Amino acid sequence: MSEFLHRLPEFLGNHLILSLAFIGALVALAVVEAQRFTRGYSALTPAGLTQLINRDDALLIDLSSQQDFEKGHIPGARLVAPSQFDPENKELAKARELPVAVVCRTGQASARAARRLKQAGFSKVYWLDGGVNGWQQAQMPLARGRGQGKAAARG
C-alpha cells in the first residue's frame, strides 16, 4: 500500500487528462447522488410500486393520455390528464398525508409531477422510474379500459 501511495503522484502527473476526467466523474456522481437524496421524492421500480400499493394503499395517479390509459394502465391507477394535474386541487389535497405515486408512459412527466407534489407539501411522494413502459417490461399486469377514471383523494 505504501508503494502505491508513493507512486500515485507520479501516475497523476503522467496521466493528467485521465486523472482530471476521473475527478470530474467523481464530482458529477456526488452531485447527482446528493440531489437524489435531498429532493424529497423517490423513484420506484415496478416491484417497489407493487409493495407500496399493497402495503400502504398508495394513491396511484396516471398522467397518460386517455387513449394510452385505455390501452393499458396499472391496476388501480386513476387517470389525470397532464394539463389537469394540479397539486393544489382540493380533491387531491385531501391525500396530502397519504403515499402518492405518479406514473406516466415513460417516467419523465411523472418525475416532474412528483417534484410539484413535494413542493405543494405532500409528504410521501413517489414516481415509477421507466413509467408504464418499464412496468410492461417487468412483465407486470395491465388493466384495459377506463379503469378508475378521474383521481379522487381517499381518506
Task: Please write the tens of the pLDDT for every residue from 32-75.
Answer: 776 666 566 888 999 999 999 999 989 999 999 999 999 999 99
Looking at residue 40, what is its pLDDT?
67
C-alpha cell at 35: 440531489
Environment class of residue 19 by beta-carbon count within 10 Å: exposed (0-12), middle (13-18) or buried (19+)? Answer: middle
Looking at residue 38, what is its pLDDT?
56
Q: Over 80: is that where the pLDDT of 154 sits? A: no
74 or 150, greater pLDDT: 74
Instruction: Name the residue ranges covered by the structural domains of the chain.
Output: 2-37, 41-137
- Global pTM value: 0.69
Environment class of residue 87 by beta-carbon count within 10 Å: exposed (0-12), middle (13-18) or buried (19+)? Answer: buried
The single residue listed with the C-alpha cell 387517470 is 79
> Is there a contact between 9 and 61 (Cβ–Cβ < 8 Å)?
no
Superfamily of domain 41-137: Rhodanese-like domain (3.40.250.10)
Looking at residue 52, what is its pLDDT?
93
Lowest mean pLDDT among 51-55, 114-118, 137-141, 143-147: 143-147
> Is there a contact between 47 and 138 (Cβ–Cβ < 8 Å)?
yes
